[in-house]
Structure 1
Amino acid sequence: MTISNSTLDDIPEIFRLYHLATEYQKAKFPGNVWPEFDEDFIATEVLENRQFKLVINHEIACIWSITYNDAQIWEEKENNDAVYLHRIATNPNFRGLNFVQIIANWAKDFGQKENRKFIRMDTCGQNDRLINHYKNAGFQFLGMKKLQDASGLQEHYQNADVCYFEIEL
């Protein structure tokens, strides 16, 4: 198992995994699914080394992205002191291997190297199973609220209840 930055060559697989994740969300949690992501948006993340992949036996098993600030979602808590995890998508061939725990452990090391104080992530909608999954991976559940201003954010943030999670480093 290796974790590395995604490459531009990975973009078709990234979109395939996003599509499969969205289909899974529709089946399991129909109230809140990811929108179609823009290819330029994803390519920018790749070029800025903010898109990651976990590879097992030469196959991408999981992907995620990071940001270093997230003021619109984290509002008053944003102090440029966190790494924010976004859009974790697991290849269905590798479901059940607890990649969230692996990503949390990776993010702790990554965040410390980047001199950050927190690892943070969010999800939309009250999905108790997912909340517990993130808590079991070491994230503290900070609560849920609607964003003050979701303009310019992806569609799934519009008028959604946002759940906040954090690991203090």
Structure 2
Amino acid sequence: MDIQVRPATMETRDAFASLLARASAWQRARGSEAWSRPFDDDWMLPRMERGELFLAYLDGEPVSAFRLLWEDRPFWGEREVGDSVYLHTFAVRRDRAGLGIGEAVIETVVGMGRERGRTRVRLDCFLSSTGLIAYYERNGFVSVGTASMQGKVVALMERAI
């Protein structure tokens, strides 16, 4: 699949926020835990300035949003040793689900990590999101533990690059 990944900008921030808000609503409608914070300018602008937010495009349309970190001590604690890239806040437009977009984004993140000499891609997701955990396992991730953040338990998962 030929996707293009570009940093989120002031001009694309509404598309980024909308994509994540819709994914969160979809998760809640299915009875799963979802992101509780709003994806507003207070949240997005500092992360955009740090170069953390990205959109993936297919045929010129934004079809996926994600956040990329090069360290993540809050979730990974002592396991954070500077050898991983961290995939956060990852969503694919629901009307484009099943086309391989998520897998293409994951492979792009793998490539970004490889370019910076990282050996793993790491992520977390709500422990109660069994379908999402299974999706990541199908894409080469393994569970390596749990963490508790703001009263929520998350599964910690990683994949070798």
Gaps of 5+ in 2: none
1:164 lines up with 2:156 in the alignment? yes
Code of the residue aligned with 1:27 in structure 2: it is A
> 2:28, 2:34 within 8 Å by CA — same for their partners in 1?
yes
1:95 lines up with 2:97 in the alignment? yes
CA RMSD of aligned residues (A): 1.6
Cross-structure match for 1:80: 82
Counterpart among 12, 16, 29 of residue 27 in structure 1: 29
Matches of 2:71 and 2:147, distance apart in 1: 19
1:49 lines up with 2:41 in the alignment? no
Gaps of 5+ in 1: 148-156
> 2:17, 2:40 within 8 Å by CA — same for their partners in 1?
no
> Residue deviations 1:69-125, cap 9 Å, x none?
111101121112211000112222211223332122111111011111211000113
Counterpart among 104, 114, 130 of residue 112 in structure 1: 114
Counterparts of 1:1-20 in structure 2 under 5 Å? 1-20=3-22
Code of the residue aligned with 1:158 in structure 2: it is Q
Moved segments of 4+, more than 4 Å: none
Cross-structure match for 2:60: 58
> Residue deviations 1:115-154, cap 9 Å, x none?
11211000113222111100111112223x342xxxxxxx
> 2:21, 2:39 within 8 Å by CA — same for their partners in 1?
no
- How far residue 63 of structure 1 moved from its aligned partner, in angstroms, is 0.7
Matches of 2:122 and 2:147, distance apart in 1: 17
Cross-structure match for 2:70: 68
Residues 111 and 12 of structure 1: CA distance in aligned 2, closer, same or farther (over 3 Å): same
Q: Secondary structure at the match of 2:140?
A: coil
Q: Secondary structure at the match of 1:37?
A: coil
Cross-structure match for 1:142: 144
- How far residue 38 of structure 1 moved from its aligned partner, in angstroms, is 4.1
> 1:65, 1:88 within 8 Å by CA — same for their partners in 2?
yes
Matches of 1:54 and 1:146, distance apart in 2: 28
> 1:84, 1:120 within 8 Å by CA — same for their partners in 2?
yes
TM-score, length-scaled by structure 1: 0.85
> Residue deviations 1:39-95, cap 9 Å, x none?
233122223222111111221000101111111101121112211000112222211
